[in-house]
Structure 1
Amino acid sequence: MIGNALQVLVRDNNVDQALRVLKKKMQREGIFREMKARRAYEKPSERRNREDAEAIRRARKAARKQAVRDGLIAAPKKKPLLGRGAPGAAAVRPSEPK
């Protein structure tokens, strides 16, 4: 995976925004996970065990999503978004002292 070229345009000399976009792309590509995995040697048996566990997790997640789509189980409750631009974010801010 390492060796793919990621490209980010810097608009209006806004390096901070370009860096955020680059980090998001790297996260999506799994580069950080791969760098962490390459820090130390992983025995072939450990690698097989990890890959098997990942495959089981993926299969369980897919089965869970399919069951939700089929209506067999209830969908998980969505967490409220709190932050910039989120509805209700103003209500969370503490009021100014009087």
Structure 2
Amino acid sequence: MQREGIFREMKLRRNDEKPSGKGAREQAEAVRRARKTAAKRPDREGYSAMAE
């Protein structure tokens, strides 16, 4: 359930969120996802630190 984001969604729905706060949160989540994807990209493409 944690992977699917259910706990995070339950926490967010407990309190009302301003539209400006929602936009900032969603932008921060997008940046976090992009960084995570970029960090995993070398492994997916077959590069590894041990190959050097």
| TM > 0.5 fold call | yes
Deviation at 1:68, TM superposition (A): 3.4
C-alpha RMSD over aligned residues: 2.1
Which residue, out of 19, 38, 48, partners 1:63? 38
Q: Which runs of 5+ in 2 are unaligned?
A: none
- After the TM superposition, which segments of 4 or more aligned residues of structure 1 sit over 4 Å from their partners? none
Number of positions where the alignment pairs a residue of Structure 1 with one of Structure 2: 49
SS where residue 2 of structure 2 aligns?
A: helix
Measured against aligned partners, the alpha-carbon deviations of 1:36-86 in whole angstroms (never above 9, x if no partner) come to: 001111100100000000000100110110133442x73xxxxxxxxxxxx
TM-score by length of 2: 0.72
Identity among equivalent positions (%) equals 65
Match of 2:28 in 1: 53
Superposition pairs of residues 25-64 of structure 1, within 5 angstroms: 26-64=1-39
Counterparts of 2:39 and 2:4, CA distance in 1: 24
- TM (norm. structure 1) is 0.42
Instruction: Pick the structure with greater CA Rg.
Output: 1
Change (3 A) 1:61 1:28: closer
